[in-house]
Amino acid sequence: EGTEAQEREAPEPTAKVSRTPKIYTKTGDKGFSSTFTGERRPKNDHVFEAVGTTDELSSAIGFAAELIRENGHAFVDELEKIQGFLQDVGSSLATPNSSAREAHLKQTRLSEKPVLTLERWIDCYSDQLPPLTAFILPSGGKSSSALHICRAVCRRAERRVVPLVQAGEADANVAKFLNRLSDYLFALARYVAMKEGNEEKMYKKEADPEG
Q: Catalogue all structural domains in the chain, each as residue range(s) with its CATH number.
A: 41-196 (1.20.1200.10)
CA dist list (Å): 203 to 67, 134, 137, 180, 184: 25, 7, 6, 24, 21
pTM over 0.85: no
Is residue 94 within 8 Å of 157, Cβ to Cβ? no
* Per-position pLDDT tens, the chain of length 211: 444 444 444 444 455 556 777 665 665 555 655 555 656 656 667 788 899 999 999 999 999 999 999 988 989 999 999 999 999 998 888 887 665 556 555 555 788 999 999 999 999 999 999 888 888 889 999 999 999 999 999 999 999 999 999 998 888 999 999 999 999 999 999 999 999 999 998 888 876 666 5
Does residue 175 sit in helix, strand or coil? helix
d(CA 164, CA 14): 52
